[in-house]
Structure 1
Amino acid sequence: MDLIYRPERYPFLTQDLPGVGGEIRVEPEDFQVEEIPAYLPKGEGEHLYLFLEKEGRTTREVVEFLRDEVGVPEKEIGVAGLKDKHARTRQWLSLPRRYEDALCLLENLKGVRLLEAHLHPHKLRTGHLKGNRFRVLIRNPKGGLPEAEAVLRRLAEKGVPNYYGPQRFGLGGLNPVRGYRLVKEGKGRGTPWLKRFLIGSLQSLLFNDWVALRLERGLYDRVVPGDWAKKHDTGGEFLVEDPKEAERALRLEISATGPLFGKKYPEAQGEARALEDEVLAQYDLRREEFRARKGARRPVRVPLKEWQVEEAKEGLWLSFSLPKGSYATSLLREVMKKEVDTPKEAEEEA
């Protein structure tokens, strides 16, 4: 029973296609991320939306600066998603309008630049984004443009495996082990937030195992009766009862969703439930042991949009867009055919 996150145990969708190798994140500007907002500020209201560019800073560090140096209560600071430290990122934050005159203090935060500021009636909430645009440089590749394009073309056709990235599992991939102890024993050291995070890491490991199982069984781009499927255009979920829904899955209109086990989430039935039970049984786990967590479902794959590859003297530049909650690392490992991004001080790409 191996509860340590080991990315090599998760199969590639494009195993038959060669990778380009190489390195990423040699310099922060090699990895660029820009939020795709769910909406833009209206230009009026009591909340100030800030569009920030940062390099060498986590989102958390910016929030702490606004709290400690500008004096904004943390609960009044709005963030849609977390962005990596070892990258050049652009994202929206919000704070009450009454702190507008103190924004000049942001000049004191090295690595952060204010690009835009607009008013809006409501605070920015977690998850209020459509996704992220990425521009990533692969330095010293062994393969070139044709190899990268072949992989990306397959991913655009079939969808990107929605594995959780290494950021989710902590140094050495050990967080699921600690989460397992909490689930089995119901106690452990740490704050309530830390305990939730560790159990969440275990949930993520089980989900990754489920994705791998669907790939190995030829069910990655299929749905079976009893699956809960997600509609990629609207985000709606429904229980699969009609075998003809398999045709929509092949067109990447819908995808099967896997469980993040908890006390309240749509439960699969029949053949689809048996696959989930198989993953749980590997670790002697039961659904009811996750009652401390809310629970949810997550699609087995996500659509790839706006992809492009450019050759440059530094290497290969990849540009692409992914929906919120998915990981660029899942795409990059397919293109490079190697494991990327061991946890340092990264945050999750949300």
Structure 2
Amino acid sequence: MSLVFEWAALRALTESVGTGGTLRQEAQDFRVDEVGAYPLSGEGDHLYLHVEKTGHTTAHVLRELSAQVGVRDRDIGVAGLKDRHAVTTQWLSVPAKYERRLGEFSLDGVRILDTGRHGNKLGMGHLRGNRFVVRVRDAAGGAAEAEGVLSTLSAHGVPNYFGPQRFGLGGLNAEEGLRVLRGESRLRDPRVRRFLVSSVQSAVFNAFLSLRLERGLFTSLLSGDMAKKHDTGGVFLVEDAAAESPRAGRGEVSATGTLFGKKTRPLTLDAGALEAEALALFDLTPTVFASRRGDRRLTRVFAEGASVAPQEGGYTLAFTLPKGSFATSVLREVMKTEVDRSDTDADSADEMGGGE
């Protein structure tokens, strides 16, 4: 199996032909609003900034904020990275002592919507999820077909694939990541090396999830699975798959896949055999990821507040996903195209979580 990302290589949940269509003809066609993990206390040593941006990566906004206001990079807090090819809102934090200097900050396409005090610096992952409102233009299929797909996703969950944003321009990051793991890469930047290796972890996870879909295991469990409870986040070993699978069928629990690393044990029993099959597709073993920490990732998530609104020549989708999930996984199911396949970069992830 190729390490180059392609939606066509990953099994979809729904069987519709898809609506087709195009995305991002205008920045306003793709809106992402960060859903915070907690309310602000109204007091404390950190000032939170609710920022709206268009045409900029989060990293670029942070660099400009640092340069113009004088705050050190390491003192700026951010919960997640947002796409440049969209209208996005998110929270940032700076030490409260810089509040008076915020008037010096100016960047076309960026505005501060609100501010508030809190006791701690905003950290990566300090968000509940993201709300997406996406305009699909030039769609051969219409809103009715999109509603049918959303109905299936609401009932059974969304395949929690890592989207093309994780794999870089042309989907080639995982190939270079494999060279990093094998000691063949000349790249020296530690951050870039980590991100490239995370692409390999993501490719193996995607293959594992695709195999589950192919074999009718998306809404059920296998012996040896590490399942996660959607309400509490608790993770447990599945010893009796027949007894636990009804809970998965009701959407109470879901299987997880392994983002391999030294702190995360491979799956065992039937689930372990399937995981080993996914690794073998790339001629890999868990030991090659010994330099990484590792993590577990849900194989499915549930979209909240999903809706479709007809538009001339297409429709608008709206839905909320938990942190770490990619809107492209929903859009791929609805459109059945190579969604965002050729228009990605290292800072355009809906959320880049796990495996570091």
- More off after superposition, 79-88 vs 241-250: 241-250
Q: Deviations over 1:19-52 (max 9, x none)?
A: 1111111100000010111002110000000101
Identity over the aligned pairs, expressed in percent?
51
Match of 1:4 in 2: 4
Distance 1:143 1:313 in 2: 12
Equivalent positions of 1:209-248 (< 5 A) are 209-243=207-241, 244-248=243-247
- 1:126 partnered with 2:130: no
Distance 1:344 1:226 in 2: 35
Shift of residue 283 of structure 1? 2.1
Listed as ranges, the gaps of 5+ residues in structure 2 are 352-356
Distance 2:188 2:69 in 1: 29
Distance 1:231 1:61 in 2: 37
- 1:109 partnered with 2:107: yes
- State the SS of the aligned residue for 2:14: coil
Equivalent positions of 1:17-56 (< 5 A) are 17-56=16-55
Distance 2:71 2:233 in 1: 34
Match of 2:153 in 1: 155
Match of 1:289 in 2: 288
Matched length: 348
Distance 2:235 2:343 in 1: 32
Contact 1:165 1:329 in 2 (8 A): yes
Letter in 2 for 1:14: T
Equivalent positions of 1:154-233 (< 5 A) are 154-185=152-183, 188-233=186-231
Distance 2:107 2:185 in 1: 39
- More off after superposition, 329-338 vs 233-242: 233-242
- 1:348 partnered with 2:349: yes
Distance 1:314 1:35 in 2: 28
Match of 1:81 in 2: 80
Match of 2:91 in 1: 92
- State the SS of the aligned residue for 1:34: strand
RMSD of aligned Cα (Å)? 1.3
Contact 2:224 2:271 in 1 (8 A): yes
Distance 1:44 1:174 in 2: 45
Match of 1:278 in 2: 277
- More off after superposition, 325-334 vs 229-238: 229-238
Contact 1:207 1:258 in 2 (8 A): yes
Shift of residue 18 of structure 1? 3.2
User: When the two structures are superposed, what TM-score results if normalisation uses the length of structure 1?
Assistant: 0.97
Q: Deviations over 1:190-229 (max 9, x none)?
A: 2111111111111111111111111111111111111001
Listed as ranges, the gaps of 5+ residues in structure 1 are none
Q: Deviations over 1:244-293 (max 9, x none)?
A: 11001001111100010100114311000111111112222111110111
- State the SS of the aligned residue for 1:224: coil
Match of 1:14 in 2: 14
Shift of residue 14 of structure 1? 0.5
- More off after superposition, 237-246 vs 322-331: 237-246
- State the SS of the aligned residue for 1:163: coil
Match of 1:333 in 2: 332
Match of 2:354 in 1: none
Shift of residue 146 of structure 1? 1.3
Contact 2:69 2:102 in 1 (8 A): yes
- More off after superposition, 71-80 vs 241-250: 241-250
Letter in 1 for 2:14: T
Contact 2:176 2:185 in 1 (8 A): no
Contact 2:176 2:196 in 1 (8 A): yes
Contact 2:32 2:132 in 1 (8 A): yes
Equivalent positions of 1:248-263 (< 5 A) are 248-263=247-262
Contact 1:266 1:296 in 2 (8 A): no
Contact 2:208 2:257 in 1 (8 A): yes
Distance 1:286 1:335 in 2: 34
Q: Deviations over 1:35-89 (max 9, x none)?
A: 1110021100000001011111111011101111111111110000000000000
Match of 2:312 in 1: 313
Shift of residue 187 of structure 1? 5.4
Shift of residue 145 of structure 1? 1.9
Distance 1:116 1:235 in 2: 31
Distance 2:280 2:311 in 1: 48
- State the SS of the aligned residue for 2:182: helix
Letter in 2 for 1:162: N
User: When the two structures are superposed, what TM-score results if normalisation uses the length of structure 2?
Assistant: 0.95
Contact 1:54 1:111 in 2 (8 A): yes
Distance 1:306 1:334 in 2: 17
- State the SS of the aligned residue for 1:185: coil
- More off after superposition, 276-285 vs 147-156: 276-285
